Structure 1
């Protein structure tokens, strides 16, 4: 297999593992609620600990990626995630589950940033929107697997056995990355730790970074908070779907997200040749995503699967921001740029997921079900926050001074 193709496939597989872990509690939730008596707030906290661990590790991971390269950092950390999966599967208390979930998030913290960094080193930057989209699409297969396939597995075995199986699969992926990714283009910067921290600080204080990242991270925070946990209760409580129907809609969304990741990445660069920038294209895609959320909440007379397919199709438009930012920062900082944006996205996923659970818990539950108004209030708050960041994104920007280079 050509080296560049091998790099793409192995890092995309790593992101697939990350995506599976991200959404596995969609299927586990009823069992966790039954066995451990978890409330919506408990479940929201437990599931969001993945995102908290993921986010908390981003800045050190960015430094490690720029210092040691994507191959070594990703392979070692995925083994941490495998350990977390074992801890989660063996847990008999909420604290054990939370520890396992946190370790999983930390262990998978490098998967997305490492993939984008490796692709930036092996391919021309004009191909990155398409390649990043393809990576997201392969990861999106994990979202498809969290629908009907996961329900099928749970009919054959229990959630603990699935956790152990995921741990074994994760270990195999880690070995594949360690031994299968070529070393020839791995860039290791020897700058001291203080200089590397200054580089991370330079990214985080950049007006360019925040103007691009705020809208993107808010829309992605809402998208993944819903996809990884709360869309199933929403479909059950607001739309009145049975469990099998919920699983089908989740899988449809996953397939649509894969198509959108590839299609919009290709379309973005095609339109750029006609004068429409990737930044502008991404922004209008995120506006369309907000509109679709409003249509879902309004329960318009459109087939439900079609609305959620549209939600998945445009939900990943914000990911184009990674390619936008690559053009504004030097290659020495790309690892830290990617992980800084990922940090912001996953902090917001954590907060959105936790917030929805907290809002739902303000209403009394009946056999684990919450009234429709509770879901609509929670999602309405998230939509309002997206509107605020959209205004900033499209507000005329000031001239930005060129960036200095840090280790």
Structure 2
């Protein structure tokens, strides 16, 4: 970018541009922290669940429905959030929406029953819905696009620390306080984050001066673009399957298919989490260096997402390899779909980046929600015994998901010469 509002390849650093400003590192730090906060909210109900059951008498179905309101709010907010990002920029948009998170956390903390809890979670989902899209847009404005794969990976890895925070640290916190106090504390954290963004993040002139009608035409352009739909199906399957399994069903697979004890499953789940963080950063670093060797970002992203299919097949087949190695590979390749965010940033002009990013996030979160629910529905076709499902039930589910990913891979490969980059 030669100027804050014009789109170029962004591959060279020249004096007096955002690419050379020391403030760009503040941009990276502040927006990464915002994504970390959003990730904590994503998983905090895992720690709250037993306390909600004991205090409010919620059933398992209630807990599932309650958790889904976060994803529902997050998904429904994506397209409007994209319009706001491209009109007002990442700093103002994220700071303003985080105020909804503050309100949602307060509502959740004070809720006497299911309705209030659900309303709080819905507001929280809307409030944090822009955290990833804002970070990607801000980095694309302040850094050369050649660095975007690595920087996106850094943001995702820092956000992944939120998954660690809702594990042992949250469990420890709940030993000396209650979930309502923690929720109120998260409201305060969200308010501080909003203030940090508003007053601490450097800004550039407004990204877009389009009218609302023009913005809506831009959204339709993205959703009707082959450039978008050539990469979206494989990405949403890669990320949707990985997130759905990692956040809910992986322990059941380890227990029922691999025969692991709870303690062993917990250790392997931690392996996946740390491998995911390493994969986010490592894939971004590798992508940038491979491009210098003539291997495109699109090709490398496709290799990673198709590698994820291979790892799933190895796990299903019970390959004679160390389980920590297989589950680490699951985490590394399962995070490879983030590379397509950087790919979309190159395929659409600056004025459409926010909407393109949030459109992709919308598909990913809808897929995650659908797979979390759908896997449970399919497993219920087999009778459970002692809380366990037959191994063949899990294998049937995974086989169906692999078939979908293979079909999406074929579609991805067919478009390797289609959809030229926009900049």
Structure 1 401/357 Cα, relative in aligned 2: closer, same or farther at 3 Å?
same
Cross-structure match for 1:320:
339
Q: Given that residues 59 and 336 in structure 1 are in contact (C-alpha distance below 8 angstroms), is that contact kept between their aligned partners in structure 2? A: yes
Structure 1 235/69 Cα, relative in aligned 2: closer, same or farther at 3 Å?
same
1:206: how far off?
Answer: 0.5
Q: Given that residues 212 and 393 in structure 1 are in contact (C-alpha distance below 8 angstroms), is that contact kept between their aligned partners in structure 2? A: yes
Q: In structure 2, how many angstroms separate the alpha carbons of the residues matched to 1:82 and 1:399? A: 44
Q: In structure 1, how many angstroms separate the alpha carbons of the residues matched to 2:286 and 2:403? A: 28
Q: Given that residues 227 and 418 in structure 2 are in contact (C-alpha distance below 8 angstroms), is that contact kept between their aligned partners in structure 1? A: no
Cross-structure match for 1:112:
132
1:11: how far off?
Answer: 0.4
**Paired residue secondary structure (1:260):** helix
Alignment pair present for 1:386 and 2:409: no
Q: In structure 1, how many angstroms separate the alpha carbons of the residues matched to 2:387 and 2:58? A: 10
Cross-structure match for 1:215:
234
User: Which residues in structure 2 correspond to 1:282-293 (within 5 Å)?
Assistant: 282-293=301-312
1:281: how far off?
Answer: 0.4
Q: In structure 2, how many angstroms separate the alpha carbons of the residues matched to 1:305 and 1:138? A: 22
Q: Given that residues 66 and 117 in structure 2 are in contact (C-alpha distance below 8 angstroms), is that contact kept between their aligned partners in structure 1? A: yes
**Cα deviation digits, residues 13-51 of structure 1 (max 9, x gap):** 111111122223343445556664533x55444333322
- Unmatched 5+ stretches in structure 2: 1-20
Tell me which moved more, 233-242 or 351-360: 233-242
Among 132, 136, 145, the alignment partner of 2:152 is 132
**Paired residue secondary structure (2:230):** helix
Paired residues, number: 402
**Paired residue secondary structure (2:67):** helix
- Unmatched 5+ stretches in structure 1: none
RMSD: 2.6
**Paired residue secondary structure (1:4):** helix
Q: In structure 2, how many angstroms separate the alpha carbons of the residues matched to 1:296 and 1:216? A: 21
1:400: how far off?
Answer: 4.2
Q: In structure 2, how many angstroms separate the alpha carbons of the residues matched to 1:146 and 1:329? A: 36
1:158: how far off?
Answer: 4.0
1:401: how far off?
Answer: 7.5
Q: Given that residues 144 and 255 in structure 1 are in contact (C-alpha distance below 8 angstroms), is that contact kept between their aligned partners in structure 2? A: no
Tell me which moved more, 383-392 or 80-89: 80-89
**Cα deviation digits, residues 317-352 of structure 1 (max 9, x gap):** 111111111222111111111111111111111111
1:241: how far off?
Answer: 4.7
1:196: how far off?
Answer: 0.4
Q: In structure 2, how many angstroms separate the alpha carbons of the residues matched to 1:84 and 1:96? A: 9
User: Which residues in structure 2 correspond to 1:184-199 (within 5 Å)?
Assistant: 185-199=204-218
Structure 1 399/142 Cα, relative in aligned 2: closer, same or farther at 3 Å?
closer
Cross-structure match for 2:281:
262
User: Which residues in structure 2 correspond to 1:241-260 (within 5 Å)?
Assistant: 241=260, 243-260=262-279
Cross-structure match for 1:334:
353
Q: Given that residues 378 and 397 in structure 2 are in contact (C-alpha distance below 8 angstroms), is that contact kept between their aligned partners in structure 1? A: yes
Q: In structure 2, how many angstroms separate the alpha carbons of the residues matched to 1:367 and 1:151? A: 26
User: Which residues in structure 2 correspond to 1:55-204 (within 5 Å)?
Assistant: 55-183=75-203, 185-204=204-223
Q: Given that residues 348 and 421 in structure 2 are in contact (C-alpha distance below 8 angstroms), is that contact kept between their aligned partners in structure 1? A: no
Q: In structure 1, how many angstroms separate the alpha carbons of the residues matched to 2:254 and 2:326? A: 12
Q: Given that residues 57 and 109 in structure 1 are in contact (C-alpha distance below 8 angstroms), is that contact kept between their aligned partners in structure 2? A: yes
Larger Rg computed on CA atoms: 2
Q: Given that residues 207 and 351 in structure 2 are in contact (C-alpha distance below 8 angstroms), is that contact kept between their aligned partners in structure 1? A: no
Tell me which moved more, 194-203 or 320-329: 320-329
Q: In structure 2, how many angstroms separate the alpha carbons of the residues matched to 1:247 and 1:161? A: 27
User: Which residues in structure 2 correspond to 1:350-389 (within 5 Å)?
Assistant: 350-363=369-382, 369-389=388-408
Cross-structure match for 1:302:
321
Q: Given that residues 105 and 120 in structure 2 are in contact (C-alpha distance below 8 angstroms), is that contact kept between their aligned partners in structure 1? A: yes
